[in-house]
Structure 1
Amino acid sequence: MLPASIPSPPQGVWYLGPFPVRAYALAIMAGIVIAVWMTSRRWVARGGEAETVLDISFWAVPFGIVGGRLYHVVSSPDAYFGPDGEPIRALYVWEGGLGIWGAIALGAVGAWIGVRRAGVRFSTFADAAAPG
């Protein structure tokens, strides 16, 4: 039996003039947009304001991206700090390398900061954010 999957696009990068647009970046952006949209719908259904979700996402998303990169760098240290490694390349996010566990962990920290600033309970917001 074959596992269900979505195949990778035949081309990983497209160019808009001099700017590369990578399939991986498009997938991440689509995931962020869908997550914010779903959370907003569920938050409003619980009596919250849609703007609150946007305010919180402005904290959660950047924290998640930084966390994903940090996790990748820490879990693949030889590429950056090994014998032939170049530490400056840890900052080269355009070369790829994000770890989902770091994104989830630091994204949750960012969401926690956002909910504190918005004056809502983290558990209530997390319930709206978690699908299902």
Structure 2
Amino acid sequence: MNNLIAALNPVALSFGGLEIRWYGVIIAAGILIAMTLATKEANKKGLDPDFIVDMMFWTIPIGIIGARIYYVLFELDYYLQNPGEIIQIWNGGIAIYGALIAGILTIYWYTKRKGISLALTMDILAPAVLIAQSIGRWGNFMNQEAHGEEVSRAFLENLFLPEFIIEQMNINGIYYHPTFLYESLWSLAGFVLILFLRRKVQLLRVGEVMFTYVMWYSFGRFFIEGMRTDSLYLFGPIRVSQALSILLFLGALMFWAYRRRNNYPPDPFYTNINRKEA
């Protein structure tokens, strides 16, 4: 069975010198699915059906820029020596946390401008973002990136992975941890969990769906990041994404507890928000 399946071609289509890569196709598919889900949920909560689409018009490009800036800042020594490569995003080098930070700031600006609740908007978006992240990691799979350390083929076979995944993790004759898959499955599980919790009557208050997302993703990312070989580092062995994951998890937990204890009158339950109230 060894090596019967070749590595997958990262290029989906080619027109002369123009290449359309699977990475971009998969990311675009994830965004489209997320926008569809969020738009349907926003409509249920009484928001304008075009609200999500119009907001994403700003959020997506700014998020991409944020993802690149985040990466460049933590590889600043290299890019100061090679400034011409800063804008060459097509050569790789973006970070999901950078996209999330820039995206949240953009959403804050947009919702404030429109007079719409930021907390409700983030609750609507939370599971949609997780499914987009789950799908997007398969773009890393096609590029044979965002993987972990070296492992044996037997290790991958013992995970009961299909042959095409095992062989895609064979890079120059060496097999690697499929950390893209770990994060994809973690995000998918979070998507299902949050949808379930969000529908439970009088369980999560407005804003707490978002906190659940932050805590779920950051908890899993902390451990998965520890297995990767392409991490950005603050100093020494301290990985940027692990440090940020700890801060986000603790911050969400403490802010959740603070709001539950001190908000009066208390925030409404998410399931109690309907078209009329929104």
TM-score (norm 1): 0.83
C-alpha separation in 2, matches of 1:38 and 1:124: 15
Higher relative contact order (CA 8 A, sep 6+): 1
Q: CA deviation at 1:122?
A: 0.8
SS of residue matched to 2:9: coil
Q: Which runs of 5+ in 1 are unaligned?
A: 1-8
C-alpha separation in 2, matches of 1:94 and 1:100: 16
Q: CA deviation at 1:76?
A: 2.1
Number of the residue aligned with 1:6: none
Q: CA deviation at 1:77?
A: 2.4
Structural RMSD (CA): 1.6
Q: CA deviation at 1:16?
A: 3.4
**Does residue 100 in structure 1 map to residue 96 in structure 2?**
yes
C-alpha separation in 2, matches of 1:46 and 1:20: 41
**Does residue 114 in structure 1 map to residue 110 in structure 2?**
yes
Number of the residue aligned with 2:67: 68
- Among 111, 124, 127, the alignment partner of 2:120 is 124
Q: CA deviation at 1:120?
A: 0.9
C-alpha separation in 2, matches of 1:47 and 1:124: 11
Q: CA deviation at 1:27?
A: 2.0
Number of the residue aligned with 1:38: 37
Q: Which runs of 5+ in 2 are unaligned?
A: 1-6, 128-193, 195-278
Map 1:6-45 to 2 at 5 A.
Answer: 10-18=8-16, 19-45=18-44
Equivalent residue letter for 1:47: G
Q: CA deviation at 1:119?
A: 2.4
Number of the residue aligned with 2:82: 86
C-alpha separation in 1, matches of 2:57 and 2:114: 12
C-alpha separation in 1, matches of 2:9 and 2:77: 28
Q: Is the 8 A contact 1:57 1:114 kept in 2?
A: no
Q: Segments of 4+ in structure 1 off by > 6 A? A: none
Number of the residue aligned with 1:4: none
Paired residues, number: 121
Number of the residue aligned with 1:3: none
Q: CA deviation at 1:112?
A: 1.5
C-alpha separation in 2, matches of 1:53 and 1:123: 14
C-alpha separation in 2, matches of 1:93 and 1:102: 14
Q: CA deviation at 1:56?
A: 0.8
- Per-residue Cα deviation, 1:27-76 (whole angstroms, up to 9, x for no partner): 22112111111111111111112101111111111111001001111122
Q: Which stretch shows the higher mean deviation, 44-53 or 113-122?
A: 113-122
C-alpha separation in 2, matches of 1:119 and 1:16: 45
Equivalent residue letter for 1:24: Y
C-alpha separation in 1, matches of 2:34 and 2:13: 27
C-alpha separation in 1, matches of 2:113 and 2:57: 11
Number of the residue aligned with 2:51: 52
